[in-house]
Amino acid sequence: MAMMVMLSLALLAGVCATAMHWLGPVHRPMDRVLPPVVSALLAGLVCALWLRPAWVGVITRIALCLSALTLMAPAWLYTVQASLSPDVRLIDTLPPMSSLFAVFMAMLMIFVPGRRAYVAAAVGWLLVASPVLVYLLTHPGELGTPRGVDLAMAFGPASLMLVVLLPVQRGLMGKIQRLASERDGIEVQLHRDPLTGVNSRLFGERVLRDVLARGGTAGLVMLDLDRFKAINDTYGHPAGDGVLRVVAATCARLLRPSECIARWGGEEFLVILPDVDPGALHGIADRLRVAIAAVPVAPVAQVTASLGTALLHPADTLDTALQRVDRALYRAKELGGNCVCAGEGGPTAGSGSLRERGSVKIPSLEVL
């Protein structure tokens, strides 16, 4: 975007310079040729950037080279001309290019990456500013005039100041990039559960709030591992952690990218399913139950889960939706675990829970 604005402004300046030189009283060949040629090239670059934004790197390099040539040509031509003709003074013939030179140096600093910016600034200065400075220093009569002093300042100390600012600008950019990547890292940490790698409760709540705000048909599944404390007590916490990781990965694999699973508490997970009908909601919950019961979780022989489901209603808040799905989970626990219960209000509420019981064993704690 910055490059597009710069190119458009340069094009505007080129068109104005073309009009001024063609309509003005003094007609010098370079002034009549250079501005229209540069304007046409700039128009080409603007079109290229518009059509192919991905080419911004190449277009920037071409624009910088074009700017260097546009400044270099009059600087050398008029300096050589003034040096060779005693009756021609550089301060009278050199176009008003000192401010453009400052813009060119600033562009080098911003758009040339890394240490190459210093080399580019030095080359740019040598090509554009040095002939004018050398001329002025060898012609004290012209240096003593207001225009001479102005040119000497612009091409000498002022451009040096711009280059000195370069490390400051680089340092600030590096700092901004570091802060941005740190912020991204913190965001990831906040949104990911560090143990299981699925979404955190914070992120789950955010998704649920979004789903509730959007309305439409969406469903929740609250999933709690059965007798998890016994696994911890028998095999130790690291084994319990391993079980949580395997269960989370198994569930995440079964879900679509638009669906969300978040670790809600110790051994409890919430699945948020946007755009789901009651039948599909129950089907997905049961697929999760079956998959958990079937997954190997050595050294534990088998792990099962109880699941509650709830369809969201338009009047639901975060609390009412979670209360309903929690009550459904509680009923599934009361039925002995390893089953799915639908929240009241849902079409399969209460009924069918026992029929959804798996034929798999309730968790045993045998070592495989």
Ligand X SMILES: Nc1nc2c(ncn2[C@@H]2O[C@H](COP(=O)(O)OP(=O)(O)OP(=O)(O)O)[C@@H](O)[C@H]2O)c(=O)[nH]1
Site for ligand X in 289-318 (CB under 6 A): none
By CB under 6 A, how many residues form the interface with ligand X? 16
Nearest residue (CB) to ligand X, 139 versus 201: 201
Q: Are 59 and 3 in contact (CB under 8 A)?
A: yes
98 CB-near residues (< 8 Å, 6+ apart)? 150, 151, 154, 155
Cα–Cα dist 357/175, whole Å: 57
Q: Smallest distance, Å, CB 64 to ligand X?
A: 56
Provide the mask over 15-44, with x wherever binding to ligand X is found by CB under 6 A and - wherever it is not: ------------------------------
3-state SS class at 215: coil
Contact yes or no for 337/247 (Cβ under 8 A): no
Nearer to ligand X, 267 or 326 (CB): 267
Residue closer to ligand X (CB basis): 142 or 226? 226
| Shortest distance in whole angstroms from residue 225 CB to ligand X | 5
Cβ count within 10 A of residue 99? 10
Nearer CB in complex with ligand X: 167/266: 266
Q: Centre a 10 Å sphere on the Cβ of residue 109 and count the other Cβ atoms it contains.
A: 19
| Interatomic CA distance for residues 334 and 350, integer angstroms | 12
Task: Work out the burial of residue 47: count CB atoms within 10 Å of its CB; fewer than 13 is exposed, 13-18 middle, 19 or more buried.
Answer: exposed
Task: Provide the β-strand partners of residue 219.
Answer: 273, 311
Instruction: List the x/- string, 195-234, binding to ligand X by CB under 6 A.
Output: x----------------------------xxxxxx--x--
Q: Which is nearer to ligand X, 219 or 240 (CB)?
A: 240
Binding mask 230-269 for ligand X (x = CB under 6 A): --x----x--xx--x---------------------xx--
> Which stretches of the chain bind ligand X, using CB under 6 A?
195, 224-229, 232, 237, 240-241, 244, 266-267, 333, 337
